[in-house]
Amino acid sequence: MPIDHDATRLAIARLAARLFLANGVAATSGKDIAAAAGVSERTVWRHFRTKESCVEPLLSQSALRFTQHMLGWSRLISIEDHLSEVFALDRQSESDIQDGILIVRLVAILPKEPDLQATWLMASHLGERGLVDIIAARLDRSPDDFDIRLCAATVSAAMRVVDEDISLAAIERGEVFTLADVVSRMARAIRAASTLPFCDPLPLRKPNQSAPDPTQIRP
Amino acid sequence: MPIDHDATRLAIARLAARLFLANGVAATSGKDIAAAAGVSERTVWRHFRTKESCVEPLLSQSALRFTQHMLGWSRLISIEDHLSEVFALDRQSESDIQDGILIVRLVAILPKEPDLQATWLMASHLGERGLVDIIAARLDRSPDDFDIRLCAATVSAAMRVVDEDISLAAIERGEVFTLADVVSRMARAIRAASTLPFCDPLPLRKPNQSAPDPTQIRP
DNA sequence: CCTGATTTGGCAGTTACTGCCAAAACAATG
DNA sequence: CATTGTTTTGGCAGTAACTGCCAAATCAGG
């Protein structure tokens, strides 16, 4: 049976990421990762199918934390305000910040490490699945609804591109981004990518109360 | 040196797909694929990094054919008209149709074969890279432009979701789609997902001739 | 401390994949 | 056709990735 004790997985992922960054993916063996994490090789393979996927919990973490935060997204607040509030520096733990740096550095080497690309896309895809539920809840529609899944996919893709763009600019060209920069680019991309109007404040409605539905996809 | 004699790769991909569909991914070995394709196991590993990626040329084929066709997309024609014309049944070769069926069946088993998911996402990502150039060319902008890459990513994600949706409906629930259905859903999704107005006829412009630019992302 | 359930390690075994070299296939040239 | 050079392939040995199995360890609750 697949085990996913999240804490262990994340701990291994952090170590694996450091090894990948230091020595490259090819030069890092499963044995190395196991040794660095202080567990047996056997347990590494119990938690991960391939050595590249060892960093997956780390890569999906930003997306998952994002969806976590979005669950508490009040319907009265726009996405810009919510993002600013949630990503405020004083709300980030030290480990969150360290993880963020690791993620950015990993994303920046994707072009040179095509083996990690698949893991990165899988992580993004995981975030997409989480987004489906959030958007569905915010618009009072079913997560099975095609339009909802479409919107989640486009928004998720947009966030991926922003991540890639910012990471490359920061690592390769040494550009510096303030938190406000990042939030603003995120919000802008999400707005541009969203095929349904879920970014702006929505009226609070009781379940049975019907109102003109603004959530039809534009024809 | 990596070899990518496309014809061989595609031939292997077709055989691998049939084996995956018939026996499942886990029960199909590299040796099986090699035997079915009539080549040595060694050459299989020369063309593909993993056994799952053996089907990648097949999966990316629809996207790549799409981009091929889009290169000839006249600026005077809307996307609906172009898609209808390009996907007309009488323009598809027999092998195109067979490949299409294989692809649909593969996509339909993605939920049961998570190992193929990464390959599917990589194929979609390849299509995204192709779309960047097409959209850039159509809007007279650089492929490096962030807005262009964003648009390509959202459109590509939309096409992926449509593919997944149609494939599952067709295989699991036996729904039947006419070509017009598929084209209409594609065009609709692309329009909804596009963050830049590249779907409608654009004025033909000489390179140096400037005109009010409709391609700024909405703020 | 005992007991049952879950997690881990060790190790043998299988499968996926690589390096290396020689054979085969093909292309251009005399 | 013989030639040379180039590219693609196969065979095989070797390594690294990964699985199955069982026993040891860890842990939770009584």
A40 CA, C5 C1': separation in Å?
A: 21
Considering CB atoms only, which of B162, B165, B195 is closest to A192?
B195
For residues A180-188, average pLDDT: 92
pLDDT tens digits for range B89-142 = 777 888 888 999 999 999 999 999 999 999 999 999 999 999 999 999 888 899
Q: Do A154 and B150 touch (CB under 8 A)?
A: no
Number of domains in chain B: 2
Q: Are residues B48 and B59 in the same domain?
A: no
For residues A124-134, average pLDDT: 94
- The alpha carbon torsion through A45, A48, A49, A51 (nearest 10 deg) reads -80
pTM of this structure: 0.90
Residues of A near B (Cβ–Cβ under 8 Å) read 49, 115, 117-119, 121-122, 125, 146, 149-150, 153-154, 156-158, 160-162, 165, 188-189, 191-193, 195, 217-219
CA dist., res. B95 & res. A171, Å (int): 45
Range of the domain at A139: 55-202+211-216
Residue B210, pLDDT > 50, answer: no
The pLDDT of residue A203 = 63
Nucleotide at minimal C1' distance from the A54 CA: D17
pLDDT tens digits for range B25-47 = 999 999 999 999 999 999 999 99
Among A52, A193, A79, A56, which Cα is nearest to A126's?
A56
The pLDDT of residue B85 = 83
pLDDT tens digits for range A91-112 = 788 888 899 999 999 999 999 9
Q: Are residues A91 and A178 in the same domain?
A: yes
Q: Are residues B162 and B88 in the same domain?
A: yes
CA dist., res. A60 & res. A121, Å (int): 10
Direct distance between the N- and C-terminal alpha carbons of chain A, in angstroms, rounded to an integer: 46
pLDDT tens digits for range A23-62 = 999 999 999 999 999 999 999 999 999 999 999 999 998 8
Rounded to a whole number of angstroms, the distance from the CA of B219 to the nearest CA of chain A is 7
Q: Are residues A135 and A183 in the same domain?
A: yes
3-state SS assignment for residue B190: helix
pLDDT tens digits for range A170-183 = 999 999 999 889 99
Residue A200, pLDDT > 80, answer: no
Helix intervals (H) in B24-145: 30-37, 41-47, 56-71, 79-86, 94-108, 114-138
Q: Are residues A11 and A86 in the same domain?
A: no
Q: Are residues A163 and A62 in the same domain?
A: yes
Q: Are residues B32 and B77 in the same domain?
A: no
- Chain B window 19-78: residues with CB closer than 7 Å to nucleic chain C are 28-31, 41-42, 45, 49-51
Q: Do A149 and B161 touch (CB under 8 A)?
A: yes
Q: What percent of chain A has pLDDT over 70?
A: 89
Residue A209, pLDDT > 50, answer: no
The pLDDT of residue A72 = 75
Containing A101, the helix (H) or strand (E) segment is helix A94-108
- Is B118:A118 a contact under the CB 8 Å cutoff? yes
Q: Do B150 and A117 touch (CB under 8 A)?
A: no
Q: Are residues A63 and A153 in the same domain?
A: yes
CATH of the domain at A115: 1.10.357.10
Containing A151, the helix (H) or strand (E) segment is helix A146-172
* pLDDT higher at A169 or B67: A169
CA dist., res. B178 & res. A143, Å (int): 26
Q: Are residues A102 and A129 in the same domain?
A: yes
- Is A103:A120 a contact under the CB 8 Å cutoff? no
The pLDDT of residue B165 = 97
Residue bearing tokens 């109360």: A209
Q: What percent of chain B has pLDDT over 70?
A: 89
